[in-house]
Chain A
């Protein structure tokens, strides 16, 4: 019987059925970071248990690290306590830790792929909802809670119920100036923030076939914002080319065997999908959010919704709540909305290609007066790649502060925060109330080039106009 990638990976990792009907699933790769793991290690100690497979457990530090300083102790003693806790836990249990001194530290979802730890046909878990990112490689990757981190540490397995699979097929070409970020914002806007509940999303179609691994990661990253716990793209030559020669990739004959096995995990033609959705790539516009969840998106040339035109009581209430928080006027164009802060970075859009694309267009231009613009590479390796290509300089000259690697203002657990009700043009993945560090701060999600356009004009703008993208 033909099977989907999800089904094949699930079957290959099923240990047994549990009494409550859930599956005990083997987790091949466990990624951990400093925020959600310390309590799990505490639980492990309380139960007097060891880490089952330390060699399949990898750690980094990303959420709390300051991006403007490297030296410890950090000015925030709580942040210092957290980095020390993960250091100590990794040492005690024999876990590889990509600490800052290794030069390989970064946001966990950037580090895994970069090191070649993220591989097709594998199961991955991490105490972080954006673990879906790793699905870009044809892995089945779950974001989990701390008690489950304990389970995976102690047993290398966890208890899970099966997911249904929805194939999201996008065919055709994107217009110039439209990016992977717009694709996923469009998908979430179309299917809703909880449209994916109970589903794994399989992203397919010729658009995804042509995408680079970094673009695929951007899309898979935000699967969870559409309610899908897992999102993946079937592995292909692009995947294998990306992985070849990475530190954790196999070499020689073992590499060939790995590629052969990886290919066998791709969804079979004619396999069963619980749902299929088709989208025309050419219909996707540069998309920005106007509200307080990632599904509240608009084409940049559209107008902010009017609650009086809502089609249901629910929709009306959610538009009203979002408008009240964002202090936006119903029916007004989103273009032209004044911004205060521009943030480039995060596990959605903090990779080399994101900064490269911005640098290509921003050269010779300047961030508008009064705008705080920061660019935060997603990992130390991304920072190094950017430095080699002079991208850091281009961005600095344009007026962006070029920072050290970390999550930074994506969720502002470090010193990078919005102040008061500042409006942020952000390449990150969440625009929830208070997400960027101020309880009244406002976030508008968009692609990196749109963030650059907003930084230069001081308002939400169409990057295609600001940078004459069509002529490039």
Chain B
């Protein structure tokens, strides 16, 4: 399985501020009644984006000027809560290609990386700089350079950090590990023999 090498993500950005944005908020549980991930995008952030009658609330994702954004900005501990892959799937299916936040909850981070969606960390001040630039010009092109660990926008450059294993996996096209895991088949069988509880 040849996977794309994700060295850069370029696109317009939208800021959804807040800390501890949990996976229930990203995709409310009632939309998880599905046997496929297709169609999850339209329910992204549903309860903070929509009123009960389906009309729009005041939310950055509802603003015309941010339509088509592919980079999501947010605060600390993004994606905390449940292990549901429905959360990164909803973000990706909505059209986002990368997330910049102060830091990420563990399982969300892993799930996103496996989907080839870079999650990079920046300081609060730097995220505020990107947010301000995007606010002033929603058409601004934001470049997340995964390889170089920086974000470039409107003549400014900020540093980002990312766990090395994830960065390596993204830029070398190894973000989906299934191929490599399957290659370990014989080693798995050998190890399994040493663990008595695995015997049928």
Q: Which A residues lie at the B interface, using CB under 8 A?
A: 12-16, 18-22, 24, 26, 28, 35-36, 38-39, 42, 47, 49, 52-53, 55-56, 64, 76, 78-79, 81-82, 85, 119, 122, 127-129, 131, 143-148, 150-151, 154-159, 161, 193-194, 197-198, 224, 227, 229, 254, 257-258, 261, 293, 314, 317-318, 321, 411-413, 430, 432-435, 437, 439
Q: Is B62 positioned at the interface, with any CB of A under 8 Å from its CB? A: no
A439, B197: Cβ atoms closer than 8 Å: no
A22 interface neighbour in B165, B172, B200, Cβ under 8 Å: B165
Contacts of B42 in A (CB 8 A): none
Distance of A22 Cα from B198 Cα, bound (Å): 23
B115, A147: Cβ atoms closer than 8 Å: yes
A156 interface neighbour in B172, B192, B197, Cβ under 8 Å: B192
Distance of A261 Cα from B185 Cα, bound (Å): 26
Q: Which residue of A lies closest to B181 (CB)?
A: A155
A258, B196: Cβ atoms closer than 8 Å: yes
Distance of A143 Cα from B107 Cα, bound (Å): 8
Q: Is B150 positioned at the interface, with any CB of A under 8 Å from its CB? A: no
B119 to chain A minimum Cβ distance, whole angstroms, is 13
- Chain A proximity mask over B183-194: 1 for CB below 8 Å, otherwise 0: 011011001101
A253 to chain B minimum Cβ distance, whole angstroms, is 12
Contacts of B163 in A (CB 8 A): 161
Distance of A145 Cα from B89 Cα, bound (Å): 10
B77, A193: Cβ atoms closer than 8 Å: yes
B182 interface neighbour in A38, A155, A261, A293, Cβ under 8 Å: A155
Interface size class on chain B is 35 or more
Contacts of B20 in A (CB 8 A): 193-194, 293, 318
A28 interface neighbour in B25, B115, B197, Cβ under 8 Å: B197
* Given known A432-B81, A437-B30, contact A159–B181 (CB-CB < 8 A): yes
A413, B115: Cβ atoms closer than 8 Å: no
A129 to chain B minimum Cβ distance, whole angstroms, is 4
* Given known A15-B184, A145-B114, A318-B19, contact A413–B107 (CB-CB < 8 A): no
B33, A155: Cβ atoms closer than 8 Å: no
CB pairs A–B below 8 angstroms (7 shown): A12-B194, A14-B191, A20-B169, A35-B33, A53-B192, A155-B184, A193-B80
Distance of A306 Cα from B18 Cα, bound (Å): 19
B111, A145: Cβ atoms closer than 8 Å: yes
A151, B35: Cβ atoms closer than 8 Å: no
Contacts of B169 in A (CB 8 A): 20
Q: Which residue of B lies closest to A40 (CB)?
A: B85
A439, B47: Cβ atoms closer than 8 Å: yes
Contacts of B188 in A (CB 8 A): 15, 24, 26, 52, 155-157
Q: Which residue of B lies closest to A43 (CB)?
A: B178
Distance of A131 Cα from B28 Cα, bound (Å): 20
Distance of A158 Cα from B110 Cα, bound (Å): 11
A350 to chain B minimum Cβ distance, whole angstroms, is 18
Contacts of B52 in A (CB 8 A): 439
A194, B80: Cβ atoms closer than 8 Å: yes
